[in-house]
Structure 1
């Protein structure tokens, strides 16, 4: 059975596209996309080829395979996504929070263990987190990262507190946001703006992350 309808729906979800926005990319109607996703119809072969080319996905996989988040984000050539193949312990398993996670965020954060994962060769015992940058996450002035860019964060521990000054970070508590760390005496805060700031304490420590790196697709 063709997976084209499921994959179009997954593509839209990962890329943050409405049915109308997806349809506009390929000269279709919202009704066309709805019928594909509900398996009431399948796109013409020329449309399938356009979708595969646009998202850099092999046509056979678009038709026959249920695509993963890693494959859609074009990580698959570099980072293994199947945990059964990872036996050496040399790759870090990193929970991934996409735009839909924040689109439907209600203040009750789900366990990171339940999220899809990205695997990277990181020589560290620290915890890491991958986040798709989107308009659903507030950020400070000067946060020069593009929409859909994948940002990697390292969980803040006591022994790296002195390195935080003026670095970007992520707060994953009741109201998630990107901010810039500010060190004032013994107080460490992650600042969004003049009205929003979270102070690092022993109780809130698990919610603080320091920007580690980024993944940016080169077109």
Structure 2
């Protein structure tokens, strides 16, 4: 257990949490957290389970590995120099089509995003907008939930594929495909030093969270959205 205290501190700092904020999130006293990190006491197994669930690390990693070292060794290829399979569909004129991933296909997309046959079965179309270049790859994703209001649930987000994740502009809106959370639409901030992305919602009722770059499968930069939820008419002024 020689790495346990170091691991607990490393994981907390990666999430940019103070000891008091972590205490609130996992239900462990701040003084106890301080004692664990300074190796003045050892957490019970029930406490370790809370750490394991919150940080998504198994008990063996927490107790035996040097997580800070393994995180550095397992850094993701952020520039996209290694092969990333991105199947596309073209029309008879060899012009690239835009594939649509509706909500009902979101779960399937997590497993079939690199499968040309699956992409071919999705709705595909073209959009005659000057803002869309013929030399780039686009995809449309339908979102659900209200975490990105005022963009309403059910909207279709028109996106451009991002090969080099180092070019993501901080606080830009992106569709991020992750192995754990599937398709999420968030404002993204890079934290390449810690091999992760910070994902933030526009709706303040939703908490921000981090995702390891090793869990990221695709990133698509949002360009605009299409919605069929028109705003309600304003109420007439009462005299």
State the TM bucket, normalised to the shorter chain.
0.3 to 0.5
Q: TM-score, normalised by structure 2?
A: 0.42
Larger Rg: 2
